[in-house]
Amino acid sequence: MREREGRVTVEVPEQSGEGIGDDVFFNPVQELNRDLTIATIRAYRERIDDRGEHPVETYLDATAATGIRGVRAAANGFDTTLCDVDSDAVERCRANLEANALDGEVIHRDVNALMHERQFDVVDLDPFGTPIPFADAAIQSASRLLAVTATDLAPLCGAHFQSGVRSYSAVPRNTEYHGEMGVRILLGSLVRTAARYDVAAEPILTHATDHYVRTYLEFDYGAQVADDAIGELGYAHHCQHCLHRSTEVGLIANPPEACPHCGEHLQTAGPLWLGRTHERAFLDRVGDHVDDDMGTAENACELLETLAAELDEPTHYDQHRLCKRWERSAASMADFLAELRAAGYEASRTHYGGTTFKTDADVPEIREATA
């Protein structure tokens, strides 16, 4: 069947559900992901041009499948390479480039081998499941920007605990801030991997949407900046009983013996990323590159606005979960956040859900301020 996205039309296999089938993989649910990718790489190219640095020109669609990412990048002026190990995928990539009268290199190969041999300004890594088997090669291949999707949110957030430990060399915990747990476990793993090569990976845009995590990492080089990035790693300590949580920076966990509020045992997650997950000024630039030919333009702009307003706190709360624990009715989110601010705390909505919020208040302070 034919799919129109952005400036291109591509042939994709007919599939049921969310793109799961026997043919070359295509997920229509990730159109928002792909629209934001185009806006982001346009914005990043513009930012590099404004700095007067060597222009961003080359783009690798690392696990291309139908090639829709690479075809869209080519339609936006990038010198595009599409790679896949599947011969049917390679044929479809070539056909989709030709159908849109676009130039691009299509390679039938294990992309890890390609990435170990060649560098690209932008590497886009969007595999099925965990991206970690590709991470070392992708970090060495991307000279400026690495875009990564992880669709294994259950292991990342601790719902599939052992799988998360194996894949990410970290301890994830299943909490009410499961999307953010996934974001920070993924970022922690990627930052640690980059640091092995004296690369500092700085997230400039990250979101958790529709059961996947997507992040864009800008690279800087040198042992000192890589050490600085490692310095943003640490642990989260979480109480499943009263929902208290705290964080500590460092590579060695030193959890409290018990929850300071209820005395129950704390669960520790990490190592994970405790730094910022996006750069606010860059989000504004990305928003300028969301245009009307994108099918998810309205949702993309709304997401960017919410991300820009989020506090730089490493976990979030769910108002309904708190109110249920306190055995009281939930107020409107606008009123709830206003009460927190009136009590002198910072508070913001988050993109993780309609009842989620971030604040610098702890659980007892939230309860007292909104009583």
User: What tens digit of pLDDT does each residue of 109-125 get?
Assistant: 999 999 999 999 999 99
Residues 279 and 329 in one domain: no
Give the CATH number for residue 360.
3.30.56.70
Local confidence band at 132 (pLDDT 50, 70, 90 cut-offs): very high
Residues 48 and 20 in one domain: yes
Question: Which residue is associated with the tokens 């194996």?
Answer: 166
Query: Does pLDDT of 217 surpass 60?
Result: yes
Residues 144 and 289 in one domain: yes
Local confidence band at 3 (pLDDT 50, 70, 90 cut-offs): confident
CA distance 33 to 31: 5
pLDDT of residue 23: 56
SS3 260: coil
pLDDT of residue 272: 98
Local confidence band at 195 (pLDDT 50, 70, 90 cut-offs): very high
Residues 288 and 345 in one domain: no
pLDDT of residue 20: 47
Rg (CA), the chain: 21
Residues 355 and 260 in one domain: no
User: What tens digit of pLDDT does each residue of 318-359 get?
Assistant: 999 999 999 999 999 999 999 999 999 999 999 999 999 999
Residues 275 and 361 in one domain: no
Query: Does pLDDT of 361 surpass 90?
Result: yes
pLDDT of residue 19: 45
SS3 347: strand
Residues 81 and 112 in one domain: yes
SS3 244: coil
Q: At which of 271, 287, 309 does a domain end?
A: 309
How many other C-beta atoms can be found within 10 angstroms of the C-beta atom of residue 133?
Answer: 12
Query: Does pLDDT of 25 surpass 70?
Result: no
pLDDT of residue 334: 96
Residue 42 one-letter amino acid: R
- Buried b or exposed e, range 137-175, using 16+ CB within 10 angstroms: bbbbbbbbbbbbbbbbbbbbbbbbeebbeebbebbbbbb
Which of 48, 43, 36 is closest to 72 using CA atoms? 36
Give the CATH number for residue 141.
3.40.50.150
Mean pLDDT of the chain, nearest integer:
95
Query: Does pLDDT of 138 surpass 70?
Result: yes
Residues 93 and 35 in one domain: yes
Which of 40, 321, 274 is closest to 180 using CA atoms? 274
Using CB atoms within 10 A of its CB, is residue 327 exposed (0-12), middle (13-18) or buried (19+)? Answer: exposed
Contact 216, 206 (CB under 8 A): yes
Q: At which of 309, 330, 352 does a domain end?
A: 309
Contact 319, 333 (CB under 8 A): yes
Contact 63, 125 (CB under 8 A): yes
Residues 285 and 347 in one domain: no
Residues 359 and 223 in one domain: no
Residues 229 and 296 in one domain: yes
Residue 189 one-letter amino acid: S
Residues 260 and 344 in one domain: no
Using CB atoms within 10 A of its CB, is residue 276 exposed (0-12), middle (13-18) or buried (19+)? Answer: middle
Local confidence band at 300 (pLDDT 50, 70, 90 cut-offs): very high
pLDDT of residue 77: 97
Local confidence band at 12 (pLDDT 50, 70, 90 cut-offs): confident
Domain that holds residue 80: 2-309
Structural domains in the chain (count)? 2
Residues 289, 292, 293, 294, CA torsion sign: positive
